[in-house]
Amino acid sequence: MTGKATDGDTVTGASTTIHWDPTSRVASVRYAQDANLTVAAGVFLVDALTRWIGVDRQPFGVLADGAGLRGTDSEYRAKASAFFRQHRDDSYIALFHLGAVIHVVVEMFRVGTAIPLRSFGDEAAARAWLRTKGIAA
């Protein structure tokens, strides 16, 4: 994927569907049932976000519904971590509906990357937090 999206766009990979809203600058992520994210899913996520966010370093949000997500491998975490470390000053990640195991993985990811990331029990709370960060979710 190259270029910057000017209209809303949805991409679907093997385990992940991502919708970009250019007005709010929010990528909404949903996972396939029982998804285990591998490096291919990491490349898919990073490529989509890179295309959409452009190079101007404007803040953006990722709103991810963790329902269905069962795991991630180390290559996925490395790919996502490298991207979000580069964007730690302009990205905000809000996750909701996380299972217990994924919640632990997410917390380890948050601590390891030092990026603004929080998990919530529901989508409304996740969107409210993004709004406190200036993201019109």
Question: What are the residue boundaries of the structural domains of the chain, listed by start?
Answer: 9-132
Provide the token pair at 33: 């049932």
CATH number 3.30.750.24 is the correct assignment for the domain at 9-132? yes
Picking from 82, 86, 81, 90, the residue whose alpha carbon sits closest to that of residue 57 is 90
**126 CB-side CA count, 13 A:** 24
Write the pLDDT tens digit of every residue in 5-15.
Answer: 445 799 999 99
**8 CB-side CA count, 13 A:** 9
* CB-based contact 13:41 (threshold 8 Å): yes
Write the pLDDT tens digit of every residue in 65-93.
Answer: 999 899 999 999 999 999 999 999 999 99
**131 CB-side CA count, 13 A:** 8
- Cα(110)–Cα(116) distance, integer angstroms: 7
* CB-based contact 93:120 (threshold 8 Å): no
**66 CB-side CA count, 13 A:** 23
Residue 35: pLDDT band by 50, 70, 90 thresholds? very high
